[in-house]
A and B are shown apart, each in its own frame.
Chain A
Amino acid sequence: AQKVTQAQTEISVVEKEDVTLDCVYETRDTTYYLFWYKQPPSGELVFLIRRNSFDEQNEISGRYSWNFQKSTSSFNFTITASQVVDSAVYFCALSEAGSGGYQKVTFGTGTKLQVIP
């Protein structure tokens, strides 16, 4: 069965500090996708990034970067020079084929990030 672990329940940083959110996953599939979503205090869920299991290239988007390592089954998310607007709950998710080849999605329990001004 697939599993996603976000061991950090809550993190507090001071504005402008860098912060890394950890995500460790388990799957028996060779083809799968990993995602990060952001849930700000307003409650909506916002897609941030998708990475497939065959693409281990790290990605950078502005202050955000993602480090995917299959060897350690990790897909960590780093925010550089954090800002108050980054305060949110961040979810890591794993998608793989369920029974019959359909898409089943498993989310981690989320990491609540608080950026203090």
Chain B
Amino acid sequence: EAQVTQNPRYLITVTGKKLTVTCSQNMNHEYMSWYRQDPGLGLRQIYYSMNVEVTDKGDVPEGYKVSRKEKRNFPLILESPSPNQTSLYFCASSTSPGLSYNEQFFGPGTRLTVL
């Protein structure tokens, strides 16, 4: 089954404790992206990746890191989480945008709480 998976689905942590949210897709998609969803703000793009070793900042990259060492995986790293990073996070993937701008397939979301 074609899908985007995220782990963990729920996480409660404390300020300053490094964490990684994993994202994996099995559709051989080149493009992957991370979003955070907050009430009243919709989805905001954190980082995106066009392909292996190619990443770029979205609208709200501060406090986050990403890496794309393999095509299927795109982990989101919070080196020193803070309470304002409490949010619902979505990973997404799509085929190479190029001139196609294809729709994105979303993971189930990760609800993160930073105390």
Give A residues with C-beta under 8 Å from B.
Answer: 6, 9, 31-33, 35, 37, 43-45, 47, 50, 52, 91, 93, 95, 98-100, 102-110
- Which of B15-23, B42-50, B65-73 binds A? B42-50
Q: Is the CB of A95 within 8 A of B101?
A: yes
In the assembled complex, the Cα of A17 lies from the Cα of B108 at a distance in Å of 31
CB of B102 within 8 A of CB of A44, answer no
Q: Is B56 an interface residue (CB 8 A)?
A: yes
Main secondary structure of the interface of B (DSSP, over half): strand
C-alpha spacing A33/B40, complex, angstroms: 23
Q: How many residues of B contact A (CB 8 A)?
A: 28
**Which of B41, B44, B59, B108 interacts with A43 by CB under 8 Å?**
B108
A33 and B35: CB pair below 8 A?
no
B42 A109 Cβ-Cβ under 8 A: yes
Are A107's CB and B108's CB within 8 A? no
- A91–B109 touching, CB < 8 Å: no
A61 to chain B, nearest CB (A): 14
**Nearest residue in A to B33 (C-beta to C-beta)?**
A105
Listed A/B pairs (11) with beta-carbon separation below 8 Å: A32-B101, A43-B108, A45-B106, A47-B104, A50-B101, A103-B48, A103-B97, A105-B104, A107-B35, A107-B44, A107-B45
